[in-house]
Amino acid sequence: MRTGEPLVEIRDLGIFYRLHRTKRVNLKHMLLNRNLLTRAPVHWALRHVNLSCQPGETWGVVGPNGAGKSTLCLVLSRILVPDEGEINVRGKVSTLVTLGAGLNRELSGRANIYLMGAFLGIPRKEIDERIEDIIAFTELGDFIDQPVRSYSSGMRSRLNFSVATELRPEILLLDEVLAVGDTAFRVKSQERMREMMGQSKLIVIVSHELDFLESICSHALWLEKGCVRGCGTAGQVLGDYREAVLGTRTSPRVARCTALPEYDPI
């Protein structure tokens, strides 16, 4: 990557879904009416989204449920392909989109460390060198050799977070994975993310916990109904979002997301 080049560049991004019809149709009807699916109503999960993220930044993504936050993570993870616009992601991405994501419930925590490392493309030798540090960070003790099915959601979250951050991807995406867990571990998580910031990694965190985001993020993106309502420094955007959610003020500095007409692009 060239000096000063963004790790993430998004230009006029759009992602849409076709809404399912409630009426049941059989295969024969579908074959005789091949344009049935193309006439289904369209819902834009994201529309006209622009974003540029530089190395060393930590981004918080906020917005109400259904705003498009998780969809954005799936796009950054290259799981979803844009229907409109362009996206460039430069660097290895590690994504934790749910508690326990990527874990095999029948395997032990130790075995899952190797499994997750393989998913991230990390050589086994490198995992061997770091596995004791990973286990120590999880604070799982003897549970590390027990099947993951015996873990609580907080224990799975610890294991996931410890592997993803110890293996140090260029880009780390966290989608509400730190919503559970005790206070001490959450403090450790924040400290680790600050370390990653010092190593010029990019972190994107989706969360409803504004205090946490304000303590860790340098920048923030506010999504509403799939549109960008605010984008910039964390203090400004999160402050505006907090006041809007509390109903005390709608910031004049933030452009409103106007309703977009639904149309069929295909």
pLDDT at 94 over 50: yes
pLDDT at 11 over 90: yes
Is residue 176 domain-shared with residue 74, that is, in the same domain?
yes
Is residue 74 domain-shared with residue 26, that is, in the same domain?
yes
Is residue 130 domain-shared with residue 241, that is, in the same domain?
no
Region 255-260: mean pLDDT is 37
pLDDT at 177 over 80: no
Q: What is the CATH number of the domain that holds 34?
A: 3.40.50.300
Asked whether residue 4 is assigned to any structural domain, the reply reads no
Our CA angle for 193, 194, 196, nearest 5°, is 65
pLDDT at 29 over 60: no
Reported for 155-160, long-range contacts at CB under 8 A and 24+ positions apart, including other chains, are 156/99, 156/100, 156/103, 157/99, 157/100, 157/181, 158/185, 159/103, 159/109, 159/112, 159/113, 160/96, 160/99, 160/100, 160/101, 160/102, 160/103, 160/116
What secondary structure letter does DSSP report for 197? H
pLDDT band at 189 (very low <50, low <70, confident <90, very high): confident
Is residue 175 domain-shared with residue 255, that is, in the same domain?
yes
Is residue 112 domain-shared with residue 80, that is, in the same domain?
no
d(CA 97, CA 101): 7
Asked whether residue 135 is assigned to any structural domain, the reply reads yes
Is residue 110 domain-shared with residue 164, that is, in the same domain?
yes
Is residue 36 domain-shared with residue 157, that is, in the same domain?
no
Both tokens of 230, joined, read 């605010």
Average pLDDT in the chain: 81
pLDDT digits (tens, 9 = 90+) for 234-252: 999 999 999 998 765 444 3
Region 248-261: mean pLDDT is 40
Is residue 58 domain-shared with residue 177, that is, in the same domain?
yes
pLDDT band at 184 (very low <50, low <70, confident <90, very high): confident
Give the range of the structural domain holding residue 50, as residue numbers without chain letter. Answer: 10-84+171-181+196-266
Q: Is the entire prediction scored with pTM above 0.95?
A: no
> Which distant-in-sequence residues (6+ apart) come within 8 Å of 228 by Cβ?
48, 49, 50, 51, 221, 222, 257
Mean pLDDT lowest among 23-32, 93-102, 181-190 = 23-32
Of 114, 109, 119, residue with least CA distance to 77 = 119
Q: Given CA atoms 242, 245, 246, 247 in this order, what sign does their dihedral have? A: positive
Both tokens of 220, joined, read 């923030």
Asked whether residue 77 is assigned to any structural domain, the reply reads yes
pLDDT at 45 over 80: yes
Identity of the amino acid at 79: I
Is residue 31 domain-shared with residue 98, that is, in the same domain?
no
pLDDT at position 20 is 61
pLDDT band at 198 (very low <50, low <70, confident <90, very high): confident
Q: What does DSSP say about strands 8-18 and 42-53: parallel, antiparallel, or unpaired?
A: antiparallel
Is residue 98 domain-shared with residue 79, that is, in the same domain?
no
pLDDT band at 61 (very low <50, low <70, confident <90, very high): very high
Q: How many separate domains does the chain show?
A: 2
* pLDDT greater at residue 99 or residue 160: 160
Asked whether residue 2 is assigned to any structural domain, the reply reads no
pLDDT digits (tens, 9 = 90+) for 128-162: 999 999 999 999 999 999 999 999 888 888 898 88
Region 89-109: mean pLDDT is 78
d(CA 4, CA 200): 11
pLDDT at 22 over 60: no
Q: Is the distance from CB of 104 to CB of 113 less than 8 angstroms?
A: no
pLDDT digits (tens, 9 = 90+) for 113-132: 998 888 777 789 999 999 99
Is residue 175 domain-shared with residue 260, that is, in the same domain?
yes
